[in-house]
Amino acid sequence: MIILGIESSCDETSAAILKQHNGRIQILSNIIGSSALEQATYGGVIPEQAAREQLRLIIPVIEEALHKASVETRDIDAIAVTYGPGLIGSLLIGVETAKVLALNFNKPLIPVNHLVGHFYANWIEQENHLLPTFPCLGLLVSGGHSDLVLFKEHGEYQYLGGTRDDAAGECFDKCARLLGYPYPGGPKISKLAEKGNPKAYVLPRPMSDSKDLDFSFSGLKTAFANLVNMHFKVSNLSEDNAKYHWQHIVIDSNKLKGNEQLIADLCASLEQAIIDSLIHKTLTAAKQYNIEQLIVAGGVAANKKLISELKIKFKGTVISPETVLCTDNAAMIAAAAFFQEKTKESSDLQANPNLTL
């Protein structure tokens, strides 16, 4: 069975061809176009700009995916597409393209929840990668989500908890921005953190005492902002615009020069606080539900320190995808579709920006 996957929920435009053979799911191609460079200039994703770029990229990306996989449209058994959650303009590009292709080539259309898709990156065959078994606990850590999910079977899962405010990735991105680094800031923070002392600064681990399985990262972001502000004295605000404090204390990158160790220590302390918060609730959930297998997914799963600390502290197996399959990509969407029976008539499928797990 061969599936064409399409993903366009945020700033990436991706198409992938995956093949299932003897129970193994293999990538024939996974093309990812991104407008991250343009977004970097503005410090985040501008929805209209991302969608305009996706409109330009979607057909070339699909053509390249077919070409690279040496597959013709007639060889495809189904088309899978992300229909939510995400930015409405971005989602529409993928959904409407998939609908037209399904109708034109008479293929079944499989709508995939982007969040579920992230987890299914773990079901793709990869080097030195163990395939998950049920039951397992899922930790999704991306730019928009930080969720704990209990997987009982394919299509049978239970939401256990999630962030009450910012996501872990968002916390990385916003704190990086405070230091003058462009979006996405997670990889930059983790690179700088390698040379820093994670105990250099005391930062909060929000909600670590709460009895639920929820996370919170906005207070941590504020604490980090205060630290940056203290070191670089860049904020000089009146009462009136104090509520816009957050946007105003981005520092000039020239001020970072000569302060490399300080920056590294700030980054390491921040990274450690995020990792500790994530690990604490993950271990609590595993204990509560007596689970011995953990699957990690989403962009922040590309963080090597998070995965290595989880492997040390989690009593059981920790499975995470290779970096390119952690961040948004269409291969994970096609992978999820192999396990989803429900197809949709093209005319019935609607993008849903607020879709939940």
DSSP 144: S
Minimum distance from CB of 134 to Zn ion (Å)?
23
Indicate the residue among 82 and 284 with the shorter CB distance to ligand KG4: 82
Question: Shortest CA distance to 90 belongs to which of 146, 44, 35, 130?
Answer: 35
Report the side by side order of strands in the sheet with 24-34. Answer: 24-34, 12-21, 2-7, 78-84, 109-113
Binding segment (CB under 6 A) for ligand KG4, from list 165-173, 218-226, 252-260, 283-291:
165-173
| By CB under 6 A, residue 33 contacts ligand KG4 | no
Q: Write out the binding residues for Zn ion, residues 139-158 only, by CB under 5 A.
A: 142
| By CB under 6 A, residue 119 contacts ligand KG4 | no
Sign of the dihedral through C-alpha 297, 73, 103, 12: positive
Minimum distance from CB of 185 to ligand KG4 (Å)?
5
| By CB under 6 A, residue 319 contacts ligand KG4 | no
What residue 43 binds from ligand KG4, Zn ion, none (CB within 5 to 8 A, per partner kind)? Answer: none
Q: Write out the binding residues for ligand KG4, residues 179-218 only, by CB under 6 A.
A: 184-187, 190
Minimum distance from CB of 31 to Zn ion (Å)?
17
Minimum distance from CB of 235 to Zn ion (Å)?
32
Question: Shortest CA distance to 354 belongs to which of 83, 11, 82, 85?
Answer: 85
DSSP 347: G
Binding segment (CB under 6 A) for ligand KG4, from list 37-45, 222-230, 299-307, 338-346:
299-307
Binding residues with ligand KG4: total (CB under 6 A): 19
Strands, E, within 93-197: which ranges?
109-113, 136-141, 146-153, 156-162
| By CB under 5 A, residue 11 contacts Zn ion | no
Binding segment (CB under 6 A) for ligand KG4, from list 28-36, 169-177, 241-249, 253-261:
169-177
What residue 34 binds from ligand KG4, Zn ion, none (CB within 5 to 8 A, per partner kind)? Answer: none
| By CB under 5 A, residue 328 contacts Zn ion | yes
The set of long-range contacts for 226-230, using a CB threshold of 8 Å and a minimum separation of 24, is 227/201, 227/203, 227/266, 228/175, 228/178, 228/179, 228/266
Locus of tokens 């395939």: 131
Secondary structure of residue 259 in the 3-state scheme: coil
Indicate the residue among 266 and 300 with the shorter CB distance to Zn ion: 300
Structure tokens at 61: 């990306």
∠ CA 144-146-152, nearest 5°, is 125
Binding segment (CB under 6 A) for ligand KG4, from list 45-53, 92-100, 295-303, 333-341:
295-303
| By CB under 6 A, residue 25 contacts ligand KG4 | no
∠ CA 92-98-101, nearest 5°, is 140
**What gap in Å lies between CA 12 and CA 76, rounded to an integer?**
23
Question: Contact 278/139 with Cβ under 8 angstroms?
Answer: yes
Minimum distance from CB of 16 to Zn ion (Å)?
14
Among 83, 119, 172, 232, which residue sits at the site for ligand KG4 (rule: CB under 6 A)? 172
Identity at 243, one-letter amino acid code: K
Structure tokens at 40: 């970097």
Binding region for ligand KG4 (CB under 6 A): 10, 142-144, 169, 172-173, 184-187, 190, 298-300, 302-303, 327-328
Residue ranges in contact with Zn ion by CB under 5 A = 142, 328
